[in-house]
């Protein structure tokens, strides 16, 4: 029997990962599409009404979404050649069925009838929001296009459904290809014991127990670039990391050109001048012009500070006999030395206080204090890899209401994509005619434990855990009826607010006191070290802001114009990034070729949203600072109006209900000291 075609008999309807095999997905997808087609036929033949049309449309693709979501989660977190091959087959089939819905003239006519009558139908606010959203989605998907344009739109969407996973696959394979072997212990100078031990164990796993191995996943490559004294090896690591999928057998340049051209053609078919214009119609920012103005405001404020910061690092490097000018593989190395000089600590001095298990207990404790949640570890649930852990989540209120399942997957492996993300195996809302609670997962690539010590996180990794957990809270605390409006299904420049605001607690002394204990002695992180760490968070804020603005401008540029097959990816990137460049350009390196957020992760024309949401989070957290970071009234309002509402109202209205006013766009610059 195909486990994807059976209702789970496991506790809380958990996913039977132990039974699922790659070959189950094609059959299950065929079954789900057949069910969806029957529902579409019923919608066409029944009178238009909210239940016959809108509710039915919500249910139409629920089985397909469940199956394809599981497939994509495995493809990203625990891939193999069979799944990668299937992605080229399944993606177009899913895209084709989606177009069967969105390009159906009869179904659109039913939706239009309900939309026209919506004021007289006695709908609640969420139902009204659903009607307006679905009507708009049909319009934006080409339901009113003539047949020949619909045919072309189908072909575009099916091809894009192959290109996105191909881009990610190329990045993963290029990442796994590089290995930096070290034979001479002298070449380890500058590296801390955590990195050295991990490199030794990585080598031992490959049968080389007298050598050290460094690879491109960030727990290995980033500390190497920050601390290794050997400049030639730093350069080798830098060039390898920043040339992933740029040339060679896994070259993403053809994928980029085709993706950009197809998205531009699609947007023109749908009446927009560019894909950026098309995508931003459903954002708080609303238009490329508004995004550019926002980014230019940040650029104007940050660039003078960034130039000073780079000069300061250059000055220190010269005083230590370093190179002039600094190259990119020098910058992190000398920046760490400057940070240590200014704030009297280095990154490794913090690690002993950030044992992964303690940090995770800390975020659970914070969720309890703010939102009355309890997380209970359980071994009852199947997982897709031994690293994965599962927690049952309950309200700590007297009713002990079940909130959802929470999965964690923290360590790098060859089968896992780079980066960190939050995802759902099951969305909150109506599913199979019942209101269900979500099954949420956060996936990261943190420092791996060794035989000598547990996983000890850098502060950046701590912030990442807080960030993804914030996304998890957005999904766990969702309280809506319809899954398409639930949790993180909000505008892209609003979805980062819950994640980025939660990062603030990682820097607060009151919060750190709950979990930052030395993994050997149990000693609380010293107050002086906490204060120095907090002060250091402003270190090079101009430079880091410029870096994010650079990514956002590059993203927006790619999707503001078409690119012919003769188009040069590096030439285009170099032109766009020149304004933000603070260090020499390195020939043979490229950002775009591994920029999976925008070419394989759904953030096309949306990378600016990280800074946009930072502005929201800075403004929102000011209220917590004023009232207390554990203030129950403020946390209750944030849960009520932001975390629980999903997309059941416009994000600006939800924010105003929480804050009592519109967001202050200057809050981010105030927090960063860039005004």
State how far the Cα of 547 lies from the Cα of 545, in Å rounded to an integer: 5
State how far the Cα of 462 lies from the Cα of 359, in Å rounded to an integer: 7
The closest alpha carbon to 48, from 116, 110, 138, belongs to 110
> Are 219 and 413 within 8 A, CB to CB?
no
Rounded to a whole number of angstroms, the CA Rg of the chain reads: 25
Q: Which two tokens stand for residue 382?
A: 């199947």
The closest alpha carbon to 644, from 439, 498, 508, belongs to 498
State how far the Cα of 198 lies from the Cα of 182, in Å rounded to an integer: 13
Catalytic-residue membership of 468: yes
State how far the Cα of 216 lies from the Cα of 433, in Å rounded to an integer: 46
Residue 534, CA distances (Å) to 507, 526, 638 in order = 6, 12, 25
How many C-beta atoms lie closer than 10 Å to residue 510's C-beta? 12
Label the pairing between strands 373-378 and 389-395: antiparallel
Distance of CA 154 to the CA centre of its chain: 27
The closest alpha carbon to 449, from 355, 347, 522, belongs to 355
> Are 490 and 136 within 8 A, CB to CB?
no
Q: Which residue has the tokens 């996973």?
A: 165
The closest alpha carbon to 555, from 589, 588, 591, 587, belongs to 591
Helix axes 527-536, 328-343, angle to 10 degrees: 140
**275: CB partners within 8 A, 6+ apart:** 260, 263, 264, 266, 267, 559, 560, 604, 605
Q: Which two tokens stand for residue 532?
A: 């120095």
Please count the helices (runs of H) and the strands (runs of E) in the chain.
27, 9
Question: Of the residues 468, 481, 508, 614, which is catalytic?
Answer: 468
Does an H or E element contain 441, and which? strand 439-443
What are phi and psi for residue 345, nearest 5 degrees? -160, 155
Label the pairing between strands 421-426 and 429-431: unpaired
> Are 191 and 227 within 8 A, CB to CB?
yes
Does an H or E element contain 214, and which? strand 212-214
What are the residue numbers of the active site? Answer: 468
């Amino acid at each position: 029997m195909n486990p994807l075609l059976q209702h789970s008999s496991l506790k809380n309807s958990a996913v039977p990962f132990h039974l699922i095999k790659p070959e189950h997905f094609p059959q299950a997808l065929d079954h789900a599409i057949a069910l969806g087609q029957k529902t579409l036929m019923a919608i066409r033949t029944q009178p238009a009404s909210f239940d016959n049309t809108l509710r039915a449309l919500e249910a139409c693709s629920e089985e397909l979404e469940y199956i394809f979501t599981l497939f994509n989660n495995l493809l990203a977190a625990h891939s193999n050649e069979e799944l990668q091959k299937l992605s080229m087959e399944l993606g177009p089939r899913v895209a084709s069925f989606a177009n069967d819905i969105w390009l159906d003239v009869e179904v659109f006519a039913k939706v239009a009838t309900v939309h026209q009558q919506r004021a007289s139908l006695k709908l609640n606010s969420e139902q009204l929001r659903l009607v307006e959203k679905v009507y708009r989605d049909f319009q934006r998907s080409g339901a009113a296009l003539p047949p020949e344009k619909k045919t072309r739109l189908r072909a575009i969407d099916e091809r894009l459904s192959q290109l996105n996973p191909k881009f990610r696959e190329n990045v993963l394979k290029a990442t796994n290809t590089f290995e930096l072997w070290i034979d001479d212990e002298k070449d380890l100078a500058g590296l801390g014991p955590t990195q050295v031990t991990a490199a030794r164990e990585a080598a031992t796993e490959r049968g080389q127990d007298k050598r050290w191995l460094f690879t491109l996943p960030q727990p290995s490559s980033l500390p190497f670039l920050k601390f290794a004294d050997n400049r030639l090896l730093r350069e080798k690591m830098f060039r390898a990391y920043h040339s992933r999928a740029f040339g060679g057998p896994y070259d993403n340049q053809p994928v980029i050109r085709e993706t950009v051209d197809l998205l531009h053609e699609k947007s023109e078919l749908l009446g927009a001048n560019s894909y950026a214009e098309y995508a931003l119609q459903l954002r708080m920012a609303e238009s490329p012009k508004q995004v550019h103005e926002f980014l230019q405001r940040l650029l104007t404020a940050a660039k003078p500070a960034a130039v000073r910061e780079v000069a300061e690092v250059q000055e220190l490097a010269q005083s230590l006999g370093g190179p002039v000018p600094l190259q990119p593989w020098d910058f992190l190395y000398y920046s760490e030395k400057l940070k240590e000089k200014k704030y009297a600590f280095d990154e490794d001095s913090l690690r002993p206080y950030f044992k992964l298990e303690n940090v995770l207990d800390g975020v659970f404790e914070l969720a309890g204090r703010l939102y009355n949640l309890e997380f209970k570890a359980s071994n009852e649930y199947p997982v897709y890899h031994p690293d994965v852990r599962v927690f049952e989540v309950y309200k700590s209120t007297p009713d002990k209401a079940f909130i959802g399942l929470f999965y964690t997957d923290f360590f790098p492996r060859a089968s896992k994509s780079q980066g960190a993300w939050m995802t759902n195996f099951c969305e909150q809302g109506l599913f199979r005619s019942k209101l269900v609670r979500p099954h949420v997962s956060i996936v990261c690539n943190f420092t791996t434990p060794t035989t000598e010590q547990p996983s000890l996180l850098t502060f950046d990794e701590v912030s990442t855990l807080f960030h993804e957990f914030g996304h998890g809270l957005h999904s766990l605390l969702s309280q809506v009826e319809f899954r398409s409006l639930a949790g993180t299904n909000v505008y892209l420049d609003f979805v980062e607010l819950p994640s980025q605001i939660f990062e603030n607690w990682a820097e607060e002394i009151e919060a750190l006191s709950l979990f930052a204990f030395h993994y050997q002695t149990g000693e609380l992180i010293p107050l002086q070290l906490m204060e120095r760490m907090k002060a250091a968070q402003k270190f090079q804020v101009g430079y880091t802001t410029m870096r994010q603005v650079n990514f956002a401008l590059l993203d927006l540029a790619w999707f503001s114009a078409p690119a012919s097959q003769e188009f040069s990816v590096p030439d285009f990137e170099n032109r766009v990034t020149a304004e933000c460049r603070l260090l020499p350009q390195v020939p043979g390196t490229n950002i775009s070729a591994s920029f999976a957020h925008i070419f394989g992760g759904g953030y096309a024309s949306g990378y600016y949203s990280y800074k946009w949401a930072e502005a929201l989070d800075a403004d929102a957290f000011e209220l917590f600072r004023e009232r207390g970071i554990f203030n129950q009234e403020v946390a209750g309002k944030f849960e009520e109006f932001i975390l629980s509402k999903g997309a059941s109202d416009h994000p600006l209205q939800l924010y105003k209900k929480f804050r009592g006013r519109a967001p202050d766009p200057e809050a981010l610059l105030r927090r960063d000291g860039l005004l």
